[in-house]
Amino acid sequence: MFAFVVQRLLQAVIVMFVISAMVFVGVYAVGNPIDVMIAPDVTQEIRQATIRAYGFDQPLWVQYGIFLQRLASGDFGRSFVYNMPVLGLILSRLPATLEITVAAVMGATLLGIPLGMYAGYAPESRVSKTIMAVSVLGFSVPTFWIGLVLIFTFAVNLGVLPAGGRGNTISILGVQWSFLTTNGLMHMLLPAVNLALFKMALMIRLARAGTREVMLTDMVRFARATGQSEWTILSRHVLRLIAIPLVTVFGLEFGSTLAFAVVTETIFSWPGVGKLIIDSISTLDRPVMVAYLMLVSLLFITINLVVDIVYIALDPRLRARKTT
């Protein structure tokens, strides 16, 4: 087990190097590095000073060395648009994105798994058929279109919920959270639902497929033959068995929900990291792009590692082979 964790950490470090190299090539070596660091309309002296300061006149690999040094020290340079250190900018926006992502994924899982298990347990019943219809729709309809429909019905027609923006927030430990105020929650509801629909559909499909396969095994027949109730079989045998594949998907989907937040935040103008990256792409604010990519990659790799460890914890067969 320990050797496994060490192996994964090793790989994580290697991958971060690879990504940093790709980002370096993509952003610096290809484009003119100067434009990356300083705004185009700056005087010539400052341009020359910066070139020397950041060693752009050095050979490429030296520049890469400097680039890595700065990455390690968290200095991603300053954003053109907001003229503040990029790291601080991103970290200030992260909580907003995390809020709706966590709410979406939690909602998708807590709703999706039971519905999926029921659809797998009684596939022929009409309720299961509707669940599957909803899941195919949820799985197929692009997130941005659902966002529009949600705004159109709840905000425009019914006027019950705000069409966008974050509403007021409370700051705890210097971090702005909106889910603690009713107004904040009202603002959070639609984006979270929008983000959750695709994930819930996915969870329903997986839970259904897993449950259906397990229900046909001798194990369930044997459990029934010992007089265990359907509820015990579902909650302790089936759930425990399908939890293993679901955990992997939960981890991967958490990452992809975070990425999909880009779309939702654009529609609901939710001031999260997603909106930041979209704006920075359109304004070619490259330092923000670099920082976003590096931080997000780090996040995905940690999620990947956590998922693998939980995967092994859940499945005793994968633990060190003990021969009795």
- Cβ contact 174:85 at 8 Å: no
Closer residue to other proteins in complex, CB, 63/135: 135
Closer residue to other proteins in complex, CB, 59/126: 126
- Residue type for position 146: I
Q: How far is the CB of 182 from other proteins (least distance, A)?
A: 24
Closer residue to other proteins in complex, CB, 169/267: 267
Closer residue to other proteins in complex, CB, 69/229: 229
Closer residue to other proteins in complex, CB, 27/192: 27
Q: How far is the CB of 229 from other proteins (least distance, A)?
A: 7
CA distance 70 to 73: 5
CA distance 94 to 269: 14
Q: How far is the CB of 73 from other proteins (least distance, A)?
A: 24
Q: How far is the CB of 98 from other proteins (least distance, A)?
A: 16
Residue 228 gets which letter from DSSP?
Answer: -
261: helix, strand or coil: helix
Q: How far is the CB of 68 from other proteins (least distance, A)?
A: 20
Closer residue to other proteins in complex, CB, 93/237: 237
Cα dihedral 19→22→27→31 (10° resolution): 170
Of 278, 102, 110, 266, give the one whose Cα is nearest residue 177.
102
Work out the angle at residue 90's Cα, subtended by the Cα atoms of residues 163 and 66, and round it to the nearest 5 degrees.
155
| Partner residues linked to 2 by β-bridges | none
Tokens matching residue 12: 């994580």
Q: How far is the CB of 189 from other proteins (least distance, A)?
A: 18
- Cβ contact 168:184 at 8 Å: yes
